[in-house]
Amino acid sequence: MATRVLSGIKPSSDSLHLGNYFGAVKQHIKLQEKYEAYFFIADLHALTTVHNKKQLETNILDIALDYLALGLNPEKTIFFRQSDVPAHPYLAIILNNLVPLGLLKRAHAYKDKLNRGETDQSINAGLFFYPVLMTADILLYQPKYVPVGEDQVQHIEIMRDIAAKFNHTYGQTFVLPEALLPSKQEARLIGTDGQKKMSKSIGNVISIFADEATIKKQIMSCFTDPNRIHPTDPGRVEGNPVFVYHDLINQNKKEVKELKARYRQGQVGDVEVKQKLFQAFMTYFEKPRRLRRELYQNKDKVKKILASGAVKASKTAQKTLIQVINRVGL
Ligand code: ADP
Ligand code: TRP
């Protein structure tokens, strides 16, 4: 049997950013060549934050279009919506009974909310049980690898804990899947503020499919070397977000090398570096941006792809679920 990979992407905003691309999507697209791949839109997970029907529907379609435009091949890969496969919440409900509350209380997403001043009154139970649903998402398909960005590593560890507990309680059932991370720089791409990881909730993003004017604005307002006041001051390249992005997306390596050398010597202004970054960005994403516009005209095709993916995913998921049901005595 081919080695299997699986990952999910939460449709919690209407636009993918560079961090999502380098931390997750790029890997996913590459892995489908080598492995049997299952990728799904984690719409049940999005319910933790999106409570507006129209918004959720738009986000789901948008993320499907983004993935297909960026190269997901529905002929090879099983691409589906989580909510089309009821085995996900079914297994999660079973697993809940093996999960100590303390494990969930240590989850970053929950702790971050508490640290930001939220309370058990404002945090919903969906967010609290998020790692259990994610565990079910993964275990149903028995993948060897789960390709994710660094921020998901704790969820993968929780998933492994729960799987081991299940095996211990009911007998060997699950092989423990492993996280698969991209390079360090990609696994936690720095945001345009030059400080935090790129994240839509912070707004320090460069969006992949936004209009040109928006992207230009995002790039031109990017932080650079905070200690450099004049273009004639020698600048720092390492960790400088504009150069991190140049390294990742500018295919003209000679240009990047020259820009870095001039920057270090104080012979180039931020504006030129950013303008070149903007051009490199538009070149890098030219094809996906065009493909996405075309796909947008053909939304029915996208819906068909997801429906056929759900049929295939359900078959695999159902097998595991039946096995679990037998094990636990339901
Ligand atoms: P956000 O932080 O913008 O809300 P999500 O939590 O929806 O993004 O993440 C979707 C996927 O993209 C996850 O696999 C996550 O690990 C990855 N990801 C998000 N931000 C980054 C980043 N700055 N660097 C690398 N990967 C990221
Ligand atoms: N929690 C992941 C994120 O925020 C999305 C996700 C849901 C996922 N279920 C998954 C990722 C299963 C990998 C495997 O990005």
pLDDT of 14 above 80: no
Cα 152 from Cα 125, distance rounded (Å) = 19
Q: Does residue 197's CB lie within 6 angstroms of at least one atom of ligand 1? A: yes
Tell me which ligand sits closest to the C-alpha of residue 7: 2
Which residue's structure tokens are 């697209």? 29
pLDDT at 13: 79
Ligand nearest to the CA of residue 150, numbered in listed order: 1
Query: Where in the sequence of the chain do the CATH 1.10.240.10 domains occur?
Result: 209-284
**Could you give the CA distance from residue 328 to residue 195 in angstroms, rounded to a whole number?**
47
Confidence bin at 2 (pLDDT 50/70/90): confident
What is the per-residue pLDDT for 15? 80
Residue range(s) occupied by CATH 3.40.50.620 in the chain:
4-188+303-328
Q: Over range 277-287, report the average pLDDT.
A: 98
Nearest CA to ligand 2 atom 11: 8
Report which protein residue has its CA nearest ligand 2's atom 6: 8
63 pLDDT above the threshold of 90: yes
Residue 77 has pLDDT above 80, yes or no: yes
Residue 296 has pLDDT above 80, yes or no: yes
Sign of the dihedral defined by the CA atoms of residues 64, 65, 70, 74, in that order? positive
138 pocket-lining for ligand 2 (C-beta < 6 Å): yes
The pLDDT of residue 254 is: 97
Residue 242 pLDDT > 90: yes
**Ligand nearest 138 Cα, by number?**
2
DSSP 177-239: -EEE---HHHHTPBPTTSSSBP-TTTT---BSSS-HHHHHHHHHT----TT--STTS----TT
- Residues 245-273 have pLDDT tens digits of 999 999 999 999 999 999 999 999 999 99
User: Which residues sit opposite 78 in a β-bridge?
Assistant: 38
Write down the CATH number for the domain with range 209-284.
1.10.240.10
Query: How far does Cα 28 stand from its chain's mean position?
Result: 9
Q: What would the pLDDT profile of 24-48 be if each residue is shown by its tens digit?
A: 899 999 999 999 999 999 999 999 9
Which pLDDT score, from 0 to 100, does residue 127 have?
96
Mean pLDDT of the residues in the chain: 95
pLDDT at 48: 96
The neighbour count for residue 234, using CB atoms within 10 Å, is: 12
Q: Is 29 in the pocket of ligand 1 (CB under 6 A)?
A: no
Q: Which of these is catalytic: 30, 34, 53, 113?
A: 113
C-alpha 20 – ligand 1 centre gap (Å)? 5
How far is the centre of ligand 2, averaged over its atoms, from the C-alpha of 50 (Å)? Answer: 16
pLDDT exceeds 90 at position 198: yes
Indicate the pLDDT class of residue 200, thresholds 50, 70 and 90. confident
Please give the average per-residue pLDDT across 285-309, as a whole number.
96
Which range is least confidently modeled, 16-25, 180-189, 247-256?
A: 180-189
**Which of 315, 3, 318, 316 is CA-nearest to residue 145?**
3
Output the pLDDT for position 52.
97
User: Ligand 2 centre from 134 Cα, in Å?
Assistant: 6
Q: What is the pLDDT of residues 314-327, one digit of tens each?
A: 999 999 999 999 99
Cα 11 from Cα 63, distance rounded (Å)? 6
Decide whether any atom of ligand 2 lies within 6 Å of the 146 Cβ.
Answer: yes
> Residue 126's pLDDT is what?
97
Task: Kindly state the average pLDDT of the residues 124-135.
Answer: 97
**Ligand 1 nearest-atom number relative to CA 189:** 24
What atom in ligand 1 is closest to the CA of residue 12? 7
Q: Give percent helix, percent strand, percent coil of the chain, each to the nearest 5.
A: 60, 10, 35
Q: In angstroms, rounded to a whole number, what is the distance separating the alpha carbons of residues 8 and 83?
A: 12
Q: Among 10, 17, 67, which is best to mutate for testing ligand 2, by the most ligand atoms less than 8 A from CB?
A: 10
| pTM: predicted TM-score of the whole model, two decimal places | 0.93
Position 16 scores a pLDDT of 93
What pLDDT does residue 33 have? 94
* Segment 86-100, tens digit of pLDDT: 999 999 999 999 999
**Which residue's alpha carbon is at the smallest distance from atom 19 of ligand 1?**
20
**Where residue 287 falls among pLDDT bands split at 50, 70, 90?**
very high
Ligand 1, atom 2, residue with closest C-alpha: 199
Q: Which CATH superfamily is domain 4-188+303-328 in?
A: HUPs (3.40.50.620)
What tens digit of pLDDT does each residue of 91-126 get? 999 999 999 999 999 999 999 999 999 999 999 999
Q: Can 200 be counted among the known catalytic residues?
A: yes
